[in-house]
Structure formats: C-alpha cells, structure tokens
A and B are shown apart, each in its own frame.
Chain A
Amino acid sequence: QKEVEQDPGPLSVPEGAIVSLNCTYSNSAFQYFMWYRQYSRKGPELLMYTYSSGNKEDGRFTAQVDKSSKYISLFIRDSQPSDSATYLCAMSGGYNKLIFGAGTRLAVHP
C-alpha cells in the first residue's frame, strides 16, 4: 500500500464548476500538507501549504486537512480553463523529504 493515495482521474468539468480533489494517507507522522500544480512539461508549483489540521483559503483555492481521518482536500471555486493541469498532493513529517500522490489530471472546458 502506498503512503499517499490519490485518484489519477482524469477529471473533466465545465468552466465555473467547483472542483474537489482528495488524497488519503497512512503515515500519522505527517504534519505538513501541500498541493502542487503541474502544467505539461513543467515542474510542480506550490499552490497551498497547511501545517497540521484545519482549513486554509487563498483566492479561489481552499485546502482542508483532517488528520483524524488522514484525508486532505483541495477545492477550486469558479474553475477556469487555465486551471487545467495535474494536481499533486504532497506531505512531510518534517525535514528533507516530500511524499507525493500520483497526481490528478484536471481538464476545465470552456
């Protein structure tokens, strides 16, 4: 079993829809939770960072962490075609190593 599970999709939604992306994990030592966006032929770009449990909002993006259920989510409101990318969840117990999910491919249609 992988430490981090993420549905690879693809997920296809119309412009303006609310998108929900999720990951589950098994390692209770994880304290830092991140969402990265990766466009084709590019490296991952940090979207959201959360320490421990709770919610964090940044513009159209909301990240939620539920450590009791070992479940994290990313919500995208009013989705745009420019949001079409692969979304990677990542987590860490502290220092030097990030554990990534497999990534969910999102396509937002005009």
Chain B
Amino acid sequence: ETGVTQSPTHLIKTRGQQVTLRCSSQSGHNTVSWYQQALGQGPQFIFQYYREEENGRGNFPPRFSGLQFPNYSSELNVNALELDDSALYLCASSSSLQTGQGARGYTFGSGTRLTVV
C-alpha cells in the first residue's frame, strides 16, 4: 500500500508567476484535501475534491484552484503568486466513508515547499 505522494518537494517561483503542485492519493482513497502551512503555523484548509468536484473551500481567493482526476490524483494551481504564498502545501487523501468522521482518515503527504521571491 503506497502513501500520499506529492511533487515537487521544493519549488522557487517569482512573484506574479503561476504554479502547479501535484498529489497522488493513497490507494483506496477517493477524496483529496489541500492545506497551506505557513512557517510556524498550523495547516489551513484550502479546498477538498471528491468525485472530481470541489467539495468545500476555505478562505482562499479564486487564484487558488484545483483539479481531481479519475484516478483520484489531484493538482493545486496558484495564479499570480504573491510573497505570502510562500508555505508548505500539504495534500491529504481519505475515503469518503472516513471523511464524515471529522476527517479521521486523513493521510498527509510530506508536502511541497513553495518559496516565492
């Protein structure tokens, strides 16, 4: 059984550019959630995808968008990058049955560290 895989592990971008981060779900999981973790802070919920549709969104602007593919993998896209977007971006997968238990079944990836300069 494989865990959650995120790529790339590190990325440096210039302000105003666009970035795409990728996530492969754990085997058997059909729901993907994305979180942003700024340095010294806890993760903040960006959005969740289930059956290729957005299933809840946190307090993030529309320039943060996502996709989920039929194999349950997912992408996070951020347009018009700002310096404050520098953070660790975490992907978490779960099964739809567990999601209803307060996200009990989340498995997190190791994240992508994005630096915007």
Contact = CB atoms under 8 A, between A and B. Distances in A.
Contact of A43 (B4, B42, B48, B55): B4
A98 B103 contact: yes
B102 A94 contact: yes
B2 interface: no
Interface of A: 4, 6, 8, 31-32, 34, 41-46, 49, 51, 88, 90-103
B42 A94 contact: no
A80 to B, nearest CB: 23
B40 interface: yes
A109 to B, nearest CB: 22
Contacts of B106: 46, 98
Given A41-B110, A49-B104, A51-B102, A97 B42 contact: no
Contact of B108 (A4, A31, A43, A101): A43
B56 A34 contact: no
Interface string B31-61: 1010100001111110010000001101000
Nearest to A103: B42
A44 B104 contact: no
A64 B91 CA distance: 28
A43 B90 contact: yes
24 contacts: A4-B42, A6-B42, A32-B101, A32-B102, A43-B90, A43-B92, A44-B108, A46-B106, A49-B104, A90-B42, A90-B103, A91-B102, A93-B102, A94-B100, A95-B100, A95-B102, A96-B33, A97-B48, A98-B35, A98-B45, A98-B102, A98-B106, A102-B40, A102-B41
